[in-house]
Amino acid sequence: MVSKKEELKDLVESSKKSEPFILLGIYQKLYKEKYKKEARVNKYREKWAMQDVIDSVGYPRAIELIEYYFVIDRPDHSLTFFLYNFDKMDRVKTEIDKDKINRQHLLEATKHMVEEGGIA
């Protein structure tokens, strides 16, 4: 008889195994939205590379990076380019996010100074 704990562990393991396929599906969906045609992807071969992306940056961040990939200006948004450059995109996106936060803080500080009558 299988315990509840073992059932839960098996469920988590099976969902982890499907993560690369889910990411590939997200890629294909975004590709089709952008180019109005299907992306040619060998899911069984590319799942290993996508698993490396997950192992490197985590599943939630991998989703963010795929979505970010389709926002940047690229001529064809190939899966191969993404798989070879996701780490660089991760660094750039991190810097952009930090810059947005920094700019927001500066904007709030400037607004506060103006409301108080400027620099003393």
Asked if residue 29 is part of any domain, the answer here is yes
Q: What is the mean pLDDT of residues 12-26?
A: 87
Closest CA to 77 of 40, 46, 52: 40
Domain limits at 22?
4-115
Handedness of CA 37, 40, 44, 48 (dihedral sign): negative
Is 52 contained in some domain?
yes
pLDDT at 119 over 80: no
Domain-embedded: residue 27: yes
Asked whether residue 83 is domain-assigned, the answer is: yes
Residue 16 included in any domain: yes
pLDDT bin (cut points 50, 70, 90) of residue 8 is low
Per-residue pLDDT tens over the stretch 34-91: 999 999 999 999 999 999 999 999 999 999 999 999 999 988 999 999 999 999 999 9
Whole-prediction pTM: 0.78
Q: What local confidence, expressed as pLDDT, does residue 11 receive?
A: 60
Residue 68: inside a domain, yes or no?
yes
Share of the chain above pLDDT 70, in %: 89
Find out whether 46 and 83 touch, Cβ atoms under 8 Å. Answer: yes
> How many CA atoms within 13 Å lie on the side-chain side of 26?
20
What is the tally of structural domains in the chain? 1
Q: Answer yes or no: is 120 within a domain.
A: no
CA–CA dist 45, 72 (Å, integer):
26
Q: What are phi and psi of 75, to 5 degrees?
A: -70, -35
Share of the chain above pLDDT 90, in %: 73
Which of 8-17, 60-69, 78-87, 106-115 bottoms out in mean pLDDT, i.e. has the lowest? 8-17
Residue 35 located in a structural domain: yes
